[in-house]
Amino acid sequence: MTMYYREYERMEARLRSAKGKRLKRRRSAVVEPVFGSLLNYFGMRRSPGKGKDSAHKRMVMAATAYNLKKWLLAKRWPKVITQVLALQPEGSFFAFMIRVTSRFISSQKSCATVT
């Protein structure tokens, strides 16, 4: 403590300022609930692997799962997916592939009749 006393005092002064209090409240509202969810619901109390690399991989995977879950809940999916899949606009990749394969098949048939 005595070694870094000036830095500690500077940090304390920063946290006592109005801007520091505002940033601390924001962190408590944004960051801390994520860690609470990871600890309680995603099994991050312990890491079964050994070493920092294994723990880091597990933390990244848990954070990815957390973000994916939030994204899936926030995403507004279409009511009927089959209607969306049935539409084939002329400029789509699917229409392009149909044209290419039909030309390829017709060229194969014409080559087969020549020989």
In this prediction, residues 9-36 reach a mean pLDDT of 88
Give the pLDDT confidence score for residue 48 in this predicted structure: 79
| pLDDT tens per residue, range 36-91 | 888 887 777 877 778 888 888 888 888 888 888 888 888 776 665 554 455 555 66
**Average pLDDT value for the chain:** 77
Q: What 3 state SS string does the chain have?
A: CCCCHHHHHHHHHHHHCHHHHHHHHHHHHHCHHHHHHHHHHCCCCCCCCCHHHHHHHHHHHHHHHHHHHHHHHHCCCCCCHHHHHHCCCCCCHHHHHHHHHHHHHHHHHHHHHHC
